[in-house]
């Protein structure tokens, strides 16, 4: 089956991103396809490269980046939500006169249209969050 995932909460405060990650991993291991993972609301904070959780805990961002690297996942951060919350790639940082980007490897920034398209293209769109 072809899944799309929407993640609405940031890392650590909520388990939503962890649950989505576990789902994605299990789905891929069982031969399903993940069309796209879309990060919205505080979910965009999953894509910052500057998180340094304690070494005895999981690194939510890194888990996503590694899973994306292994399976060529499309990790999309909503641009409007990201601008409010300070998640930027090189282009965005330059455009808004910010010193540096902070987007983690394998994440990309794009528009809400990517969420709607995921809803259209996937057999199931699953929403993780409150």
Partner 1 sequence: MSEIKKFVYLNRKAPYGTVYALESLEVVLIGAAFEQDVRLVFVDDGVYQLTKGQTTDGIGMKNFSKTYSALGDYDVNKIYIDEQSLKDRGLTIDDLQDLTYEDEDDDWAEKSSINVVSREQLAELISEADVLLNF
| Residues assigned a catalytic role | 78
- CB nearer to partner 1: give 8 or 65: 8
- CB nearer to partner 1: give 25 or 108: 108
Q: Does 83 bind partner 1 (CB under 8 A)?
A: no
User: From residue 51, how far is each of 30, 95, 103, 117 by CA, in Å?
Assistant: 30, 24, 11, 30
DSSP state of 48: B
- CB nearer to partner 1: give 20 or 81: 81
- Stretch 107-126 residues interacting with partner 1 (CB under 8 A): 111-113, 115-117, 119-120, 125
**CA torsion angle 40 58 23 13 (round to 10):** -40
- Stretch 10-49 residues interacting with partner 1 (CB under 8 A): 40-41
Judged by the rule CB under 8 A, the positions of this chain that interact with partner 1 are 6, 40-41, 80-81, 111-113, 115-117, 119-120, 125, 127
């Amino acid at each position: 089956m072809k899944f799309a995932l929407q993640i609405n909460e940031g890392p650590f405060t909520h388990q939503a991103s962890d649950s989505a990650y576990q789902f994605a991993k299990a789905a891929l291991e069982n031969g399903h396809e993940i069309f796209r993972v879309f990060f919205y609301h505080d979910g965009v904070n999953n894509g910052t490269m500057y998180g340094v959780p304690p070494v005895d805990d999981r690194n939510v961002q890194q888990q996503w980046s590694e899973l994306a690297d292994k399976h060529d996942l499309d990790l999309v951060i909503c641009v409007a939500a990201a601008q409010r919350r300070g998640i930027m790639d090189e282009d965005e940082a330059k455009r808004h006169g910010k010193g540096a980007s902070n987007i983690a490897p394998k994440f990309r920034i794009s528009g809400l249209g990517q969420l709607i398209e995921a809803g259209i293209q996937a057999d199931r769109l699953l929403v993780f969050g409150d």
